Amino acid sequence: MWLFRMYNISTFFWEGQYVCEINRSRYSAYLLHVHVVFMTKYRRPVFGELHHANMRQYVAEVCADFGAELKECDGEADHVHMLIEYPPLVQLTKLVNSLKSVTSRRLRNDFIDLRAAYSKPVLWSRSYFIGSCGGAPLEVVKKYIQNQRG
């Protein structure tokens, strides 16, 4: 009844459809994705398309420094969404702090309009959203675990 199959350690199938490659290290196999959302300070609508284009580049660079990979990055005038694939050794709070500080500093340095939007050197709200994603839905995993005893 289990809906996904692993034909070998590096290929992941869901309901018979190819989904993605599983990452491997010496003693583990993993597939970790996280959805991250940052909001601008006071939810001010300060971003345009050019801001988002530069932000994608900066986020990708920070992710690479952590051994992670940016899969998707986009947003609206007052927030940005990021989908990041990361290895198990990455501490997500450190990744988030680095993403917030680097993108804030570089965007404010590159765009005068962002500096003018705030009286202090800030860009992001102190809060953020982070959620794990990918893999099988929780109910499917629960049923699989419950059916393990035969």
**Which amino acid makes up residue 105?**
R
- The pair of structure tokens assigned to 43 is 């939810």
What band does 14 get if pLDDT is binned at 50, 70 and 90? low
What is 77-137 written as a DSSP string? TTEEEEEEE--TT--HHHHHHHHHHHHHHHHHHH-HHHHHH-SSS--EEEEEEEEEE-SS-
Residues in the chain: 150
What band does 20 get if pLDDT is binned at 50, 70 and 90? low
Flag whether pLDDT at 144 surpasses 90: no
Q: How far is CA 121 from CA 63, 101, 114, in A?
A: 23, 11, 9
What band does 9 get if pLDDT is binned at 50, 70 and 90? very low
Would you say 47 and 36 are in contact if contact means Cβ atoms under 8 Å apart? no
For the chain, the domains span 32-133
Would you say 79 and 123 are in contact if contact means Cβ atoms under 8 Å apart? no
For residue range 52-78, list pLDDT tens digits in order: 999 999 999 999 999 999 999 999 999
For residue range 99-120, list pLDDT tens digits in order: 999 999 999 999 999 999 999 9
- The pair of structure tokens assigned to 129 is 């959203």
CATH class of 32-133: alpha beta
DSSP-derived 3-state class of residue 27: coil
pTM score: 0.82
